Structure 1
Amino acid sequence: MPAETTRRRSVPLTVVSAFVAVSATVGAVGLMGGDILGPAVTARLPFASSLLAGITLAVVVAVPMAVCALLAAVGSRHTATAAVAAGVLLIGWVLVQPVIIRYFSWLQPFYGLLGVVVAWLGLRLRGRRP
């Protein structure tokens, strides 16, 4: 499959994963910079640390999504695997987060859906590769 065709097919994946990467980075910086969750929710975090929560968000969601976006943008043969991994990590984050913080937000199902979309796009891309 020509590289140009691969890049064209990866545009939706690039856009969605880049959006998630940027928003997760903003969220991680916000968490690391202060108490954006409020004292009651922050107290429920592991070690009651918004700094640790921000670092974890960056490592588990922002970095894998950024790698996925980059690979999708350049048409790498590793894009499909990165997309499935990043999507599953985001889904896992969204499923575990409300259990830990005992707080529900509309952002959780929204980002859960984006995780499903990223993983699905990765699976579709994998199916189109030889």
Structure 2
Amino acid sequence: MTRTDWRRSLLRTGQPARRRPWLAAVTALIAVLAYGGAAGLISGAIDLGDQIEARLPFHSPVFGGAALAVVVGVPMTVAAWLAARRDTRSSIAAVIAGSLLVGWIAVEIGFVQSYSWIQPVFAFAGLGVALAGMRDFGSA
């Protein structure tokens, strides 16, 4: 965090921006898992089966993997980076990243029409990330 960011936060909220190590760790973990899933889909290491693959856009796990990296991995990476740096934008980044993850899970269920225990786990993780970001909006 730059000295200017610290002062801006101090002037706006009456206190300096705080470190968010748990938010940084959780969003970084989700980003790593998203990139791992994307790599598995793109490389073919994760086999969805012909039936589920037929339901994917363009019938392409490569497209699904790339979309996973862009829609979930990148926003979670940004949120992790900002939270680790004590950046005042970490709250809005967490809300956006968490909301995108929840949306991803909803769209995934709609497309693949198959259910797994991991979907509600990540939906709740996305909700938790978004709520952690929203927690700071009351003081802004």
The verdict on a shared fold, with TM-score over 0.5 as the criterion, is yes
The percent of aligned pairs where both chains have the same amino acid is: 45
In the alignment of these two chains, the number of paired residues is: 125
- The correspondence of residues 72-87 of structure 1 with structure 2, limited to 5 A, is 72-87=83-98
- The correspondence of residues 18-29 of structure 1 with structure 2, limited to 5 A, is 18-29=28-39
SS in 1 for 2:136: helix
Distance 1:87 1:11 in 2: 16
Larger relative contact order (CA 8 Å, sep ≥ 6): 1
- Render the CA deviation track for 1:66-104: whole Å, top value 9, x for unaligned: 100000000111101100000100000011101101110
Q: Are 1:14 and 2:24 matched, yes or no? A: yes
Unmatched runs of 5 consecutive residues or more in structure 2: 1-14
- The correspondence of residues 12-51 of structure 1 with structure 2, limited to 5 A, is 12-34=22-44, 35-51=46-62
Unmatched runs of 5 consecutive residues or more in structure 1: none
Q: Are 1:53 and 2:64 matched, yes or no? A: yes
- Render the CA deviation track for 1:35-93: whole Å, top value 9, x for unaligned: 52122111110110000000000010000001000000001111011000001000000
Report which of the two structures shows the higher radius of gyration computed on alpha carbons.
2
Corresponding residue of 1:115:
126
Distance 1:83 1:116 in 2: 10
Corresponding residue of 2:11:
none
Corresponding residue of 2:136:
125
Q: Which runs of 4+ in 1 moved over 6 A?
A: none
Corresponding residue of 1:95:
106
Distance 1:65 1:93 in 2: 13
Between Structure 1 and Structure 2, the one with more helix by share is 1
| CA root-mean-square deviation | 1.1
